[in-house]
Structure formats: structure tokens, C-alpha cells
Amino acid sequence: MCNYVGYEFGAAFYPDSYCIDGKLHDADSPYLNDEDVPCPMCDRDAAIQWWLGRWEGTCEVGDERSWDDINAEHLANATSLVDDIRKNRGVQALANREGNLQPRKAACSKSAPLSVVRLTAVLGA
């Protein structure tokens, strides 16, 4: 356990996640989380990919950009979020490691856009 606590499970005003063996669990539940949610402090790259997976292939209605552009923005947002979490806990961001992570090709059709999950909505702001 790395002593990380955060807001990954939807609480906006109190920490609702904690790390056990590199995986995050919901502090509001008496059960351990079945979902594989990587701790951003223990595994930066896996945490970025987890956030990217939540947003990838989503866009705002009417967004005319290509899926590659949209998912590149999602990757940048996921990287920024995880690096901010780490920075707020005294860990400096790694120098431009973003090139190691790539968004996967979107599995959904551009003709049926989905509402994007905004970073502020995820953080409850």
C-alpha cells in the first residue's frame, strides 16, 4: 500500500479511493473493488491508460474532428490528470513520456457520437 487516497470513484468533496497493492478500491464500499483500477502513484502509465479507456471513443455531439484527434486529446487529458495527481503529492512529472502511450483506435462509429465525459464531471467540479 502506498498510502494514496483520491477521488476516482465519484466523491467530489472527500477522498473515496485508497490503494492496496497498486490497485484502487472504493472507500465507500465494505468490499474490495473488482475492477482493475491502477493507482496513479504506483503505476503512472497504467493509470493513464485506465483514464484514457474511460474517455476513448467518446466525443461531443457535432464534433467534426477525426477520431485520432479526439483520442489524442483524451490521451493528453488523461496524462495531465495523472501527472497532476502525482504532482499534488510531491512527485514530479516524468519528462515527456507521453510518446510511450498511444490511444487505441476507436471502436464506435463517428456517425453515432457519444457525449464526452468531461474531466470536470469526473472530478465532480
Q: What is the mean pLDDT of the chain?
A: 78
Q: Give one word for 108, left, alpha or beta, with left for phi > 0 and alpha for psi -120 to 50.
A: beta
- pLDDT tens-place string over residues 110-124: 333 333 333 333 334
pLDDT at 109 over 70: no
What is the pLDDT at residue 79? Answer: 96
Give the residue-averaged pLDDT of 69-84: 95
pTM of the predicted protein model: 0.70
pLDDT at 69 over 90: yes
CA dist., res. 85 & res. 53, Å (int): 18
- pLDDT tens-place string over residues 29-50: 888 877 889 999 999 999 999 9
Instruction: Give the three cell numbers for residue 68.
Output: 485520432
8-state DSSP, 99:
G
What is the pLDDT at residue 35? Answer: 83
pLDDT at 81 over 70: yes
Q: Is-contact 113 61, C-beta < 8 A? A: yes
Answer with the residue of higher pLDDT: 58 or 92.
58
Name 74's Cβ contacts closer than 8 Å, sequence gap at least 6: 52, 55, 56, 58, 103
